[in-house]
Structure 1
Amino acid sequence: MGLLPLNYRRPDHVSEEDVRRNESSVEFDEKADASLKSGYSGTSPGIPDALTFDRILNGGACPPCTVRDFMNYLIYIEHAAENLQFYLWYRDYVRRFDAAPASETVLSPDWTRAMEEDTIARVQKDATGKAKKDAPVARELFKGTDFEKAPEARVESRDPFATPPRSSAGDTASLSGSQATSYVSQAEDAFSAVGVKQPFTIQPFRSEINRVIATYIVDDSPRQLNLSSCEQKAVVRALSYTTHPSALRTLSQNIENTLRRQAHPNFIRWSICNGNPARVTFARGLGVGTILVAAVGSIILTLSKAGRGWRALFAILWVLGIATLVAAAKGMCVVLHGLHHRNVRPWELFVEDNTTGLEQLHEGKRSFDSFGSCNSYEDEPWVVKYQRRFYVRKVFDREVWIQEPALRQIQDTIFLQSVLLALFGASALTAIFVAVPAGGFF
């Protein structure tokens, strides 16, 4: 494969605020829904066609850009694996529901757009009405206290570490079910909390939908999605009416939008880095040190009686230092790039141990289990082992070959950009030092 254009830029880091800002300007109508299904990936600039979201999920990429690598990134780096787990389940659920006999699926009617909009309006109206009803009680309760003058600030405050964040309206009536002993009882508690009747158990996939509610929807569920209180209640009401995939249509579109526009670009940006943090920090220090040596050497020769030609020799150090520093600023080590290698990830390091390897294999399979436990990894054996690892040993961690050609192409382009920038900077600095008259001090 050839190089990318020299003006190539790796994907920008996308924050949750950026995604929310984009969502406010994009409406998921029928045309947009069709474009998503036809393969539109909303690819960010800097991502080649070989590394698109759909290609990765369909198994068309090689390590370290496979769907398993994507899942590991969401678990260990972004801490949002539940989005991909839910998305993979929903995609499979749509396929299985469409393949089910018509005599069964007829029991689960479509959840139309009009029904969804009406449900959301009712949920919002109930939340607004409850807030107004509770306002006089709250004022009377806080009368004569420090909270009387600014009740709004008290209501809006919430735990910054809560996951997911919830709107203040209707928090007292938020869904429950974390203490239930089964998926059925948790789903029943969820339906009761939003004031709807228990659904027909003869609907197809009803037991699976109950597990989805208990795993992804209700508060304190193992893989709770980032839903507001209003979204949460609207989804539960929809699922109480039908098990048709359309009941989860808006939720799945929001999750897919987050995966495509935030998680996927950030994953590609992270995958471009071929060194671990310790290695990249070491490379930056090496680049700065080389530049300082070149600068000090050039200054000494300039102040001496040595000929000007000797100063040009430091151009080699200028090039090496600047190229190393620029590449490290983008998360790359030039030594590893020369071999097309990358450092092994911390969670991959200790796979040589048989017991730990089996445990990690089990963890990897569990991450693709649609109804597995939470995605916490603090108790995994590699965490403590890696924390105890010496810094120098982290710098020279084990390496593996980068198999994905498109990723190597990106890294080749970034390396060439670093070298060209280094040549330009070294030429300018060398010309300045050569042009300065000799000091003749020694």
Structure 2
Amino acid sequence: MTGVTSTTSVKSSTSTKKPKKSLSVRDSTLLKILQGKTCYPLSLGEFKKFLETREFSAENLAVVEWFISYRTRFNALPTSERERSPPPASSDQQGTLGALSIGSNASRTSTPDSPGGEGPTISLANQDLEFFQVLFQGFDAQNTPDIKLDQKLVADIGRKDQPFRSEVNAAIKLFFTTEGSMELNVPGTMRKEIVSNAALTTHPAVFAPAVKHCFDIMQSSSLPSFMRFAAQNIQKDSRIDRGVKGIVCFILAFIMTFLLIWFNKSRWTRLGTFPLFQLSASFLYTVHTRMCLLNHMGRKKEVIIVDQDLEKDGRDDDNPRGKLLIHTVEEPMVFDMQTRIKLETLALATVIGACLTTIAVAIPEHF
């Protein structure tokens, strides 16, 4: 997909307050994932699978993808169609900070009864303006997410002549009611406001607060967990293998120390136990991080292809049934993260090895 290289910077002339600092989206890894600009194992498909089977929060990504798709389709409607669904009235906070709007090409002030002729608008608070500006970059009618909602058995609310009325009703039921299979975890006041506004208009601005809320959750919580998961390159059997090797190396170092003392060798000969202690610590820390140094050097990642029934049940891959495959790590960000873990492992193993060797050397020759 092709991204946009420049962004219009907008400032509100009606606001004198300094906007609160929000999560950066301009260089967000999450936005790159949404736009399909990342490679395996940091791709959009892998992120969806992670949310579904690990965090059980796939609804956060689903509402963002649907919103991007819906806003793009709404934006493509003729002006006469869009005017049937003006933006909802701004909240008190938005009125205080200055109601701004995002159009198809530029930002401009607007009122709920005057959506403007250039394109649809979204009424926002100042601190959220940049977020939505950047969120829509890289998406157009040709490359928006292909999201379709089940529009059957939806509540019969709102004006039937408004564009996408049945789809909006379906979105309300899916994301904002207890009956929905993908109910969002949003504040109660936000939920009530969205449901109330959706009964009056089908404008995309209705869903903007929930989309921002879900995006922030994914960026602050889900994304860091996903990146750590993506950096892991060994499965359970390999972890057990390295754990056993770590224990064996530690036992060998202990036996070597005992024999050197038993045969009255100089205590300085016990420095030879350092490689074993270091290797033991390295193996055991690899079990913790699930990141093998040798696999990292070869850009290899072990993947278990499990039965579909297991994936649907959301069971942990720590005890999978399936075939072990070796995939290639293509995403530079993941490789860089693995490099940091590798350096951390080597540093920690060296420190632990040095400490254990010092203890071995300090043991008296006769005890």
What is the TM-score normalised by the length of structure 1? 0.59
Q: Secondary structure of the equivalent of 2:38? A: coil
CA distance in 1, matches of 2:186, 2:300: 40
- Residue of 78, 86, 106 corresponding to 1:109: 86
Determine the structure 1 residue equivalent to 2:155. 187
Determine the structure 2 residue equivalent to 1:257. 216
Determine the structure 2 residue equivalent to 1:57. 34
- Residue of 215, 224, 233 corresponding to 2:192: 233
Unmatched runs of 5 consecutive residues or more in structure 1? 1-28, 42-51, 119-181, 189-197, 351-355, 361-375
Determine the structure 1 residue equivalent to 2:333. 406
Give 1:31 shift: 5.3
CA distance in 2, matches of 1:384, 1:249: 34
CA distance in 2, matches of 1:273, 1:307: 43
- Residue of 57, 62, 81 corresponding to 1:85: 62
Does the 8 Å contact 1:349/1:398 carry over to 2? no
Determine the structure 1 residue equivalent to 2:264. 305
CA distance in 2, matches of 1:266, 1:384: 15
Greater share of residues in helix = 1
Q: Write out per-residue CA displacement over residues 177-232 of structure 1, whole angstroms, 9 at most, x where no aligned residue.
A: xxxxx8464323xxxxxxxxx41111111121122123222212122222455443
Does the 8 Å contact 2:234/2:291 carry over to 1? yes
Give 1:434 shift: 3.3
Distance 1:32 1:328, change over 3 A: same
Give 1:401 shift: 1.9
What is the TM-score normalised by the length of structure 2? 0.70
Determine the structure 1 residue equivalent to 2:174. 215
Determine the structure 1 residue equivalent to 2:205. 246
Q: Which amino acid aligns with 1:186?
A: V
Q: Secondary structure of the equivalent of 1:322? A: helix
Q: How many percent identity over aligned positions?
A: 25
Does the 8 Å contact 1:284/1:329 carry over to 2? no
- Residue of 74, 77, 84 corresponding to 2:51: 74
Does the 8 Å contact 1:343/1:400 carry over to 2? yes
Which of 406-415 and 430-439 deviates more? 430-439
Give 1:388 shift: 7.2
Q: Secondary structure of the equivalent of 2:223? A: helix
Larger RCO (CA under 8 A, 6+ residues apart): 1
CA distance in 2, matches of 1:218, 1:435: 67
Q: Which amino acid aligns with 2:264?
A: K
Unmatched runs of 5 consecutive residues or more in structure 2? 1-16, 96-149
Q: Which amino acid aligns with 1:429?
A: L
Q: Secondary structure of the equivalent of 1:400? A: strand
Does the 8 Å contact 2:279/2:349 carry over to 1? yes
Distance 1:340 1:185, change over 3 A: closer
Q: Which amino acid aligns with 1:419?
A: L
Question: When the two structures are aligned, how many residues end up with a matched partner?
Answer: 297
Does the 8 Å contact 2:60/2:184 carry over to 1? yes
- Residue of 254, 267, 271 corresponding to 2:230: 271
Give 1:398 shift: 2.9
Greater share of residues in strand = 2
Does the 8 Å contact 1:280/1:332 carry over to 2? no
Mapping of residues 346-425 of structure 1, within 5 Å? 346=304, 348-349=305-306, 377-378=312-313, 389=321, 397-425=324-352
CA distance in 1, matches of 2:37, 2:79: 34
CA distance in 2, matches of 1:388, 1:264: 24
Q: Which amino acid aligns with 1:421?
A: L
CA RMSD of aligned residues (A): 3.4
Give 1:57 shift: 1.6
Give 1:299 shift: 2.9
